[in-house]
Amino acid sequence: MKITAKFLDANETATGGLVLWLNKGEKQSPLVRKVDKALNGHITQIIKERDFSGNALETLSFDTLGQHPAKRILIIGLGEKADVTAETIRQASGKSATAMKQAGIKIYISTLARAQAKQATPAELAQAIAEGTLLALYTFDKLKSEKETKKIDELKIVARSAKEEGLMTKGAKKGVTLAESACLARDLINSPGNFATPSHLADQARKISREFGIRTKILDAKAIEKLQMGGLMGVASGSHQPAKFIIMEWLKGPKAEKPILLVGKGLTFDTGGISIKPAGGMEEMKSDMSGGAAVIGAMRAISALKMKVNVVGLVPATENMPGGSAIKPGDVLKGLSGVTMEVINTDAEGRLILADALAYAERYKPDCVIDMATLTGACMVALGDFASGLFGNDETLIKQLKETSEEIGEPCWPMPLWPEYEALIKSDVADVKNVGPRAGGAITAAAFLKKHVGAETKWAHIDVAGTAYTAKARHYITKGGVGLGVRHMVRFIEKRTDVK
């Protein structure tokens, strides 16, 4: 799909569709008034008839029957003017794109970048429009005989001037890159476990690296064993699929600048191992590598945008299967950090493989380490499916992650990580055990990860168990893999390094 910014008169340009907007309680904006006049007051009439009030994401759509250069007009509500943000525009763009697609429109124009949004430039609004549009139009039909037939070919975003057109073109281009990278992560998440194996993740990382110039190394089972990554080796022991440890380096920033480390859980299918999960809904455990998919997607975006930063992505990838050689409850593993780990529940495997990746991250003497993982059902109980859990050992880092998550519409909520929780995972036979009591399970899981982080390392953990995969579509989030974390990490890195 082609997305461009154009300095044009939306009231005089022939197109399949035209997206207009109104704030709550606003009878007509100048742009709507101009189009209404061309339609001899039809918009005023239809707003009154359908009791359209401009509430956020409320829509009104009609065919112009040849009375306007646009064959179809869609008016979308943005809510209270004072509350409009780039995320509002992103959501409105997603809903608009879906409506245009359903109506069979091939080419349409959006005026949403002309809305007033808090702390957002026209370029940032063009970026939000591109993101919302492409994310909403995403489909996963690669394995279907019958493909999606309705497609939009082009979107033109209206600019106020030729100068603004240039700035918005850059913003839209960036939005396309971010959305495509998030959709790559979605593809990985939505692919079934017999396709998206650890080797497949490694192959995708290599493919991206060749395309965008990322230095990538894949450690195989022998190299993993040689490094004495006991957590990753232990979880992989029950599977016929060989484990992989993916290392992606983008070191294009100042040489003296310490790298930011991104770590993602790459559990390509999770049966629970010997502590096997119930059968109902187990097919969704293909999404247990959402954190790893986010890291791979983020590395694609960072390199495609040619960001002058130092970032390294690490993805420990394996399956968790109940094979004859699988780890058992009561087994003790020794991680790369040297910490010994008693396995109480083999279904708490994500923290075991992340432990080795976090320990490996120390080799880079990082500025900070961020890990993302579908780690605990307990986090879903605490925060539902709207916000991810945010844990860490540095207040500035946590604040930056929280603020940037809200900017891009993937909110994280800080959770406590007090010493009292660490006491709950002390083992009688090893340094730590991999689960504590049922209560506070998301926090004790984070406390387990903290044991493998250097004492001086600034670290944060994002538990995306409730947010990385959804059974219900909303605005620009489609059913299945969300691609969560890709856009967030890019925005966070921009803020952390002051580089865009």
**391 and 335 inside one domain:** yes
Instruction: Taking residues 246-253, report their average pLDDT.
Output: 98
The domain that holds 341 is classified in CATH as: 3.40.630.10
| Residues 315 and 246 sit within 8 Å (Cβ to Cβ) | yes
Residue 27 has pLDDT above 80, yes or no: no
Instruction: Taking residues 54-60, report their average pLDDT.
Output: 96
Whether 277 is catalytic is: yes
Number of domains in the chain: 2
pLDDT of residue 149: 86
pLDDT of residue 107: 98
Please give the mean pLDDT across all residues of the chain: 97
Residue with tokens 């109980």: 381
**238 and 296 inside one domain:** yes
**205 and 284 inside one domain:** yes
* Rounded CA separation 185/483 (Å): 5
Residue 103 lies in a domain: yes
**113 and 231 inside one domain:** no
**194 and 113 inside one domain:** no
Q: Which of 81, 105, 137 is the last residue of a domain?
A: 137
Confidence band, pLDDT 50/70/90 cuts, at residue 25: confident
Residues 135-165: tens digit of each pLDDT: 999 999 999 999 888 999 999 999 999 999 9
**192 and 99 inside one domain:** no
pLDDT of residue 350: 98
| Residues 75 and 52 sit within 8 Å (Cβ to Cβ) | yes
Exactly one of 24, 277, 479, 495 is catalytic; name it.
Answer: 277
**189 and 87 inside one domain:** no
pLDDT of residue 456: 97
Query: Which of the residue ranges 28-37, 209-218, 222-231 would you say has the lowest mean pLDDT?
Result: 28-37
Residue 150 lies in a domain: no
Q: Which of 137, 171, 193 is the last residue of a domain?
A: 137
Instruction: Taking residues 464-486, report their average pLDDT.
Output: 96
Task: Locate 469 and state its tokens.
Answer: 């995969």
Confidence band, pLDDT 50/70/90 cuts, at residue 75: very high
Residue 154 lies in a domain: no
Confidence band, pLDDT 50/70/90 cuts, at residue 297: very high
Residue 20 lies in a domain: yes
Residue 146 lies in a domain: no
Residue 158 lies in a domain: no
**232 and 366 inside one domain:** yes
**278 and 354 inside one domain:** yes
Instruction: Taking residues 270-291, report their average pLDDT.
Output: 98
Residue range of the domain that includes 90: 2-137
Instruction: Taking residues 78-82, report their average pLDDT.
Output: 96
The domain that holds 36 is classified in CATH as: 3.40.220.10
Q: Which of 73, 102, 137 is the last residue of a domain?
A: 137
Instruction: Taking residues 428-437, report their average pLDDT.
Output: 98
Residue 229 lies in a domain: yes
**121 and 243 inside one domain:** no
Residue 343 lies in a domain: yes
Residue 315 has pLDDT above 90, yes or no: yes
Whether 351 is catalytic is: yes
Contacts 24+ apart (CB under 8 A), 45-53: 47/75, 52/22, 52/77, 53/24, 53/25, 53/77
**225 and 326 inside one domain:** yes
Instruction: Taking residues 339-343, report their average pLDDT.
Output: 98
**98 and 22 inside one domain:** yes
Residues 171-202: tens digit of each pLDDT: 999 999 999 999 999 999 999 999 999 999 99
pLDDT of residue 269: 98
